Amino acid sequence: MPNDNVELLIPFLTPGLKFSIKLEFGPHDTYAFNADYIGCKLGQYVIAEFPKKAQEALVMRQVNNAEVVVRGITQSKLGHIVAFKSSILGSINSPTGLLFLRMPKHFASKPIRSHERYTLDLPISIKSNTVSYEATMLDFSVNGCAIFIKGENTLDSNSEIAVESELSALLPETLVYSIVGIEKQKQGHRFGIKFNQTIEMTSELKQALLEKTFLATPI
């Protein structure tokens, strides 16, 4: 949904947000790369850190004032995608590569999840065939969840796993957890889990999730 109130963009821009950036030098002259959101100054600029490979590719290009298209999947509860057009205000390459983008005049956002996702830090036990793992549930919705396993594991996409947690008594006995995505991280792996059914959000389950979310929220 297009929005002319750019102040509403700011809550979507959180530390750790990954940008997909495309520089447009001309109708058939573009360069795309991924970057990390660093910060912004309302009404002036957005700062993105860009990788060494992009620095090397752009070293001979005139990037100042180049048009740019920015997209990102945010950490909002509905996983909004945000997108906006801007231009390059300036850049630096040392001590790290930073792009300064002019604050856009408008942006577009669209939720990619239809159900609210609750942020958690919940210890769980996982079993796949005869192998067990201690893990952490990072978030939860009525359609699935995300979990993190420290270190190495032998789990694959499309695997079904059994999960035991403090929430188990509030969930259907017929619930099946299927791995639909795996992301390697510094200290282990993050798994996207899809349920075989949409869970009914009972008052007891919602209360338990709210309590766990409160405990997982930094003070």
Fold that domain 2-111 belongs to in CATH? Pnp Oxidase; Chain A (2.30.110)
**Average pLDDT in the chain:** 90
List strand residue ranges (DSSP E) for the chain, in order. 2-3, 18-26, 29-41, 45-49, 67-73, 80-92, 98-102, 107-111, 118-128, 131-140, 144-150, 160-164, 177-185, 188-195
Please answer whether residues 101 and 88 qualify as being in contact, where contact means their C-beta atoms are separated by less than 8 angstroms: yes
- If you average pLDDT over residues 140-169, what whole number do you get? 93
> pLDDT band at 218, cuts 50/70/90?
low
Provide the pLDDT for residue 217. Answer: 60
CA 204 vs. chain centroid, Å, equals: 28
Instruction: Using the predicted structure, report yes or no on whether residue 34 has a pLDDT greater than 80.
Output: yes
Amino acid at residue number 125: S
What CA–CA distance (Å, rounded) separates 164 from 146? 14
Provide the pLDDT for residue 206. Answer: 87
pLDDT in tens, 169-212: 999 999 999 999 999 998 999 999 999 999 998 989 988 988 88
Burial class (CB in 10 A: 0-12, 13-18, 19+), 156: exposed
Instruction: Classify 117-215 by CATH class.
Output: mainly beta
Provide the pLDDT for residue 54. Answer: 94
Q: Give Dmax (Cα) for the chain.
A: 61
At 191, list the tokens.
């798994």
Pairing status of strand 80-92 against strand 118-128:
unpaired
Strand partners, 84: 70
Neighbouring C-beta atoms of residue 93, cutoff 10 Å: 13
| Domain range annotation of the chain | 2-111, 117-215
Instruction: Using the predicted structure, report yes or no on whether residue 219 has a pLDDT greater than 60.
Output: no
At 178, list the tokens.
């299927």
Provide the pLDDT for residue 94. Answer: 87
Q: Where are the alpha helices (DSSP H) in the chain?
A: 52-58, 203-216
